[in-house]
Amino acid sequence: MSREVLVKKSDIVKYYLRKIIIAGLVTIAVTWVALPFIMTIIYALSDPDQYYDPHIVIPTRYTLEHIHKLIVLGAWNATINSVIVAVLTILFSFAIGLPAGYAFARYAFKGKDSLKLFIVALRMFPMMVIAVPLLVLYFKLGLADTLLGIALAHTAMALPFVILITSGIIAGVPVEYEEAGLVFGLNRIGAFFRITLPLALPGLAAAAIFTFIMSWNEVFIAAVLSFQNRTLPAFILNLIGGATDFIKFAGAFIMVIPALVFVFVAGKYLVRMWGITLK
Amino acid sequence: MFMGDTYMVDVHLRGVVKRFGKTIALRGIDLDINDGEFVVLLGPSGCGKTTTLRIIAGLEKPTKGKVIFGNRDVTYLPPRERNISMVFQSYAVWPHMTVYDNIAFPLKIKKVPKEEIDKRVKWAAELLQISELLNRYPHQLSGGQRQRVAVARAIVVEPQVLLMDEPLSNLDALLRVKMRSEIKKLQRRIKVTTIYVTHDQVEAMTMGDRIAVMNAGKIMQVGTPWEIYNKPANVFVAGFIGSPQMNFIDVTIEEAQDGVNLVSSDFTIKLPQEYISLLKDYVGKTMILGIRPEHMYPLGYVPANLQKKDKIKGVVDFVEALGSDTIIHLNTGSKIIVVKTSGTYRPKIGEELEIVIDLDKIHLFDKNTEKAII
């Protein structure tokens, strides 16, 4: 026995209409984010004649000349400096921030909440105010114009964030996993490294990415504290004041590319780890 | 077979007190657990049973008092040096390791040779019937399977003391009943001293060699399931064990000709002569009478061998038909008395009933101390 099934035309129309609207909204959102990137990349690589031609929006001839110029002027060294500073910043801020975050997550102690608030409040000091005294101090300590100096300043900036994020991440790993580790033969440090750390790793990786990008993008402190050993943003800031437009675009281009690559690689790792631990 | 030469150990708690800030979790716990015994810590939530277990495990340090394993004071030893293992309420099966690695982990830490680890993991997996799950990750397992992994991990190290913190509370009802008997059988087989925490009286009664009933940071009574049920030491234990709960009625003790009268506002129960000597200090005073619902019978359902009995009257207020049993709520005037009887009996609401009480099974508690007198 089969029953006659009615299909309303309006249902089908509605179904596809909804799909089209969603696709449209997604397109707008993606364009919003991607267009500046695309324009930066196009103009960073465009031929100077075409760039200044008012009739050509999208150039047809491309060149690596501007980027090459930047590299000749020292962009490559600055990039290496930036990577070193960012990696040092991650190392320092995690070496200090992770134990602090662990303590916030796992122990109850007097003044815990006020201490947390205090750590956040540290970020309220404007860098402008700190920068000059810091430079004086750095001269006395011999840290001025060193990558270590910049990395330490960036660590100070990243630390409140790292402490709060890691304490949240570690609080998300049930304490029973650690206690089971203690019962089955580990000491506290062993339980942390063999049980809690692997489970917290995806979250910690996300925090590391954030720290990396913060350090990578930070220009003010880096520009104040260094003269020769500049990080990439400080180098570009110094350079592009009087430069032509496509040099500016080329500067933006080499600023963006390494960060993008890093985020993609780390992001993939992140998704894979989350897939295992959060299921 | 329990592999290797293990010796078991008796466990003693001596005056254990635990404070968390201002709250007192344990108010002086004394408990002796024998070699190879299965002891259940039973009590309502917040009574301190889990804290007691965690102190035995070494995950908490007592504020005062001692924990002794055999002839060794372990109060200041970290968990890993106590030769214990534990099944957590949430199982705590590590999500970043396969089932095999989870079970093998404690042995790897102890640097047991690889072949030996393999042998023991397979032995434990077989015992718990999880051999085919060894290569899976915990997130691929059901709750019941995870629980088995937790138990396998706990026994593979051949602990001297096995601690279990409500291991069945996250399982569905059917599986819980099944695992109850399996854990008990397993414990009999490997004869490990076991301390088991639960708030479920049925679990406690069916699994424990002895039960320690706890309330508000104190042990109320320690005894075999039979003792706990038949000879409750106080009102708390009497009320906590048994379902439906024991009926408690305030009665005044009056001496009568050839016996003792228990006078309540609704009825009088007469006890025979021999109770006089037991209750002579209480004549004229109020006591708490305790009668279990299953020790009262409607007429027609009275066992023939009942020795001492008396009757009370009341009106049926409410009936719960559970199939195998019928629970009758009897209004005796100012009180509701709960009676548990055969499922074949179905009185109507409003019906007047006569209920026979088995006087051998009644309990009388001191009104002030709440301790059992009879």
Query: With contact defined as beta carbons under 8 Å apart, do B349 and B318 qualify?
Result: yes
Is B207 a residue whose pLDDT tops 50? yes
Identify the CA nearest to B165 among candidates B37, B34, B52, B70: B52
Q: Chain A closest CA to B208's CA: distance in Å?
A: 23
**How far apart (Å, rounded) are the C-alpha atoms in residues B14 and B66?**
5
* Domain shared by B39 and B151, yes or no: yes
B144, exposed or middle or buried, with CB in 10 Å at 0-12, 13-18, 19+?
middle
Q: Along chain A (279 residues), what's the average pLDDT of each consecutive run of 10 residues?
A: 78 94 96 89 85 82 85 87 94 95 91 88 81 90 92 92 91 93 94 92 85 89 87 85 81 82 73 55
Report residue A138 as tokens. 């750095």
Q: Chain B closest CA to A269's CA: distance in Å?
A: 15
* Domain shared by B221 and B258, yes or no: no
Q: Chain B contacts of A184, Cβ < 8 Å?
A: 80, 85, 105-106, 109, 153, 157
Is B3 a residue whose pLDDT tops 50? no
Indicate the residue type of B238. Answer: A
Q: Chain A contacts of B51, Cβ < 8 Å?
A: none
Tell me whether residue B286 is in a domain: yes
**How far apart (Å, rounded) are the C-alpha atoms in residues B85 and B192?**
11
A174/B contact by beta carbon, under 8 A: yes
Which of B240, B261, B289 is where one domain is finished?
B240
A199/B contact by beta carbon, under 8 A: yes
Bridge partners, residue A91, by sequence: none
Identify the CA nearest to A70 among candidates A257, A254, A264, A262: A254
Tell me whether residue B6 is in a domain: no
Query: With contact defined as beta carbons under 8 Å apart, do B56 and B84 qualify?
Result: yes
Whether residues B80 and A180 touch (CB distance < 8 A) is answered with no
Sequence-distant (6+) residues with CB within 8 A of B53 are B41, B86, B163, B165, B195, B197
Domain A66-277 has CATH 1.10.3720.10: yes
Tell me whether residue B300 is in a domain: yes
pLDDT at B7 (0 to 100): 58
- Looking at every residue in chain B, the average pLDDT score rounds to 92
Q: Left (φ > 0), alpha (ψ -120 to 50) or beta: where does A74 sit?
A: left
Our measurement of the distance from residue B156's CA atom to the centroid of its chain's CA atoms, rounded to an integer in Å, reads: 26
Indicate which CATH number applies to the domain containing B307: 2.40.50.140
B111/A contact by beta carbon, under 8 A: no
pLDDT band at B1 (very low <50, low <70, confident <90, very high): very low
Identify the CA nearest to B318 among candidates B348, B290, B342: B348
**How far apart (Å, rounded) are the C-alpha atoms in residues B73 and B81?**
12
Q: Chain B closest CA to A277's CA: distance in Å?
A: 6
Question: For testing the chain B interface, which of A184, A186, A272, A279 should be mutated: the one with the most B CBs within 10 Å?
Answer: A184
Query: With contact defined as beta carbons under 8 Å apart, do B269 and B310 qualify?
Result: yes
User: What's the Cα-to-Cα distance from A72 to each of A246, A253, B4, B66, rounded to whole Å?
Assistant: 16, 16, 72, 74
**How far apart (Å, rounded) are the C-alpha atoms in residues B59 and B109?**
19
What DSSP assignment string belongs to A54-120? TT-SS-S-B-SHHHHHHHHHTHHHHHHHHHHHHHHHHHHHHHHHHHHHHHHHH---TTHHHHHHHHH
* Domain shared by B316 and B179, yes or no: no
Tell me whether residue B317 is in a domain: yes
| B200 or A60, which is more confident | B200
Q: Chain A closest CA to B124's CA: distance in Å?
A: 16
A185/B contact by beta carbon, under 8 A: yes
* Domain shared by B254 and B301, yes or no: yes
Which of B209, B240, B271 is where one domain is finished?
B240
* Domain shared by B153 and B205, yes or no: yes
| B8 or B156, which is more confident | B156
* Domain shared by B32 and B153, yes or no: yes
* Domain shared by B81 and B57, yes or no: yes
What DSSP assignment string belongs to B102-156? HHHHHHHHTT--HHHHHHHHHHHHHHTT-GGGTTS-GGGS-HHHHHHHHHHHHHH
Q: Which of A187, A195, A198 sits opposite B80 (nearest CB)?
A: A187
Tell me whether residue B331 is in a domain: yes
Is B66 a residue whose pLDDT tops 50? yes
pLDDT at A278 (0 to 100): 47
Q: Chain A contacts of B84, Cβ < 8 Å?
A: 183
pLDDT at B258 (0 to 100): 83
pTM recorded for the entire structure: 0.82
**How far apart (Å, rounded) are the C-alpha atoms in residues B290 and B63?**
37
**How far apart (Å, rounded) are the C-alpha atoms in residues B288 and A60?**
99
| A252 or B164, which is more confident | B164
DSSP single-letter state for residue A132 = H
**How far apart (Å, rounded) are the C-alpha atoms in residues B53 and A38?**
62
The rounded radius of gyration (Å) of the Cα atoms in chain A is 25
pLDDT band at B8 (very low <50, low <70, confident <90, very high): low
* Domain shared by B234 and B261, yes or no: no
* Domain shared by B181 and B267, yes or no: no
Which of B219, B240, B261 is where one domain is finished?
B240
Q: Using one digit for the tens of pLDDT, what is the confidence trace for A95-144? A: 999 999 999 999 888 888 899 888 888 878 787 888 888 899 999 999 98
Query: With contact defined as beta carbons under 8 Å apart, do B24 and B30 qualify?
Result: no
* Section B262-272 average pLDDT: 92
Q: The domain containing residue B187 runs over which residues? A: 11-240
Sequence-distant (6+) residues with CB within 8 A of B31 are B11, B12, B13, B39, B52, B212, B219, B222
B90/A contact by beta carbon, under 8 A: yes
**How far apart (Å, rounded) are the C-alpha atoms in residues B48 and B66?**
16
B209, exposed or middle or buried, with CB in 10 Å at 0-12, 13-18, 19+?
middle
Instruction: Report the domain count for chain B.
Output: 2
Instruction: Starting at the earlier edge strand, list the strands of the sheet with B64-69.
Output: B23-33, B11-20, B64-69, B72-73
CA torsion B122-B127-B132-B133 (nearest 10°) is: -90
Domain-wise residue ranges, chain A: 66-277
Tell me whether residue B233 is in a domain: yes
Residue A256 has a CB neighbour count (10 Å cut-off) of 16
* Domain shared by B74 and B209, yes or no: yes
Query: With contact defined as beta carbons under 8 Å apart, do B231 and B47 qualify?
Result: no
* Domain shared by B110 and B211, yes or no: yes
Tell me whether residue B235 is in a domain: yes
Indicate which CATH number applies to the domain containing B60: 3.40.50.300
pLDDT at B2 (0 to 100): 45
Q: Is the dihedral of CA A13, A14, A20, A24 positive or negative?
A: positive
Instruction: Look at A45-59, B57-71, B102-116 and tell me which has the smallest mean pLDDT.
Output: A45-59
**How far apart (Å, rounded) are the C-alpha atoms in residues B95 and B82?**
25
User: What's the Cα-to-Cα distance from A246 to each of A37, A65, A147, rounded to whole Å?
Assistant: 14, 10, 29
* Domain shared by B74 and B156, yes or no: yes
Q: Which of B57, B80, B92 sits opposite A185 (nearest CB)?
A: B80
Identify the CA nearest to A83 among candidates A262, A226, A274: A262
Find the residue in A nearest to B91 (Cα): A176
B141/A contact by beta carbon, under 8 A: no
pLDDT at B307 (0 to 100): 85
